[in-house]
Structure 1
């Protein structure tokens, strides 16, 4: 068993794009009921953090709440990143490897060295979402500059990320989604074997994910940017596995904590 001091290891949950720490509420409660200390962070500009997203210009700035939390801990934690949250946990693993015992990528971006999140995508993944009007870009610095943030079309996004989730949770999620800084999509990360590569990695595949589909994204990114110690598959799960299969996700996190 992987214990820190006299208790179980802290599990730190990191959300993906356009959401906040609120997305983990079912998983967080279930883990806490099992005796785990759980921290769900709001990345800068997300959730309850009021920082204007168009002013966030680096992954380091975006991930600062996560880095600040890790810097304050005395024991190693288990980092869990969902979707675009894989970028933030990768950045944290490289910066503070001594604070992380294991990392769990939950249907998540898992960049390699000198890669951005978008570098790991199939060519038409994000551009296709924009072309279909599912995602929209904002250019706060003018149309000749890079986008500064991206938002989702509430009427169109549900079929991609909540296709297996209960209606009441889908409604909750759609009501709380907000714009996300653009920089975590396009800033390459420096990830070294000595730091990032020293941490045990696990990957959870959502089998019914229509955004990061298993065959087009999840399995290829594991093959290209692994190795990971173990891959777990959750049947009947959409992209928002914390809503569609919270019990199964919780059980897997507990299982990984004990490995």
Structure 2
């Protein structure tokens, strides 16, 4: 019985966390892009993951920069770097050499992975990819933060230890009492002690908690909030203030067209940020 409840509890948690991972993977897939490179004198488009240091990448307005690059050619190139610096203003890029160990925001002859080309174009040489980029360093620092257990898990651990201590004391007392005052066969005594343990363990409690947390995850999902770990729901319930950077986190600092109004009608425009693909609707029809 305990084994069955444990399996059910594990399945509930696995299903909910798998759904969250699938949603996060979908977001990662949307953010992934291709890069236009010049190799062997030819222009070709390759997945961002195939870039290596030394590749020559061509940038155009609306592109998401695929790697850290040193610029060798610019044409009124302006880049939005809020994802790295938090600054909402776009940065004019140049190709001139700079002296000294400059902070990230002052390296105007470079472009960085994850930033967005807001205007113009340019050509750059890849200097770092993946985890070696400035954005990758930030992700590594975030991943290195020690994970803290939620108050619910801490209380569950305390409850489990208390129940274990009580059961152990009862088993020892019952064993001594049975041997001293009653002539009970050892086999029957062991069965009685095992029955006591099974009866005392609240095997349904973990499953009930998982179900309650799963309901919270589903409620958050309906509000378009992805919960990666079930215990996070309990922590969110005690949260009163959220301190967050706006630009690059809540907003993208990318002005887009939502409607086109003419003298005769109104067109509704849908799309994903600066991506060249989109949809235009008139009266509900595409």
Query: Structure 2 length normalisation: TM-score?
Result: 0.21
Q: Which has the higher contact order (CA 8 A, sep 6+)?
A: 1
Question: When you count strand as a share of all residues, which structure comes out higher?
Answer: 2
| Bigger-Rg structure (1/2) | 2
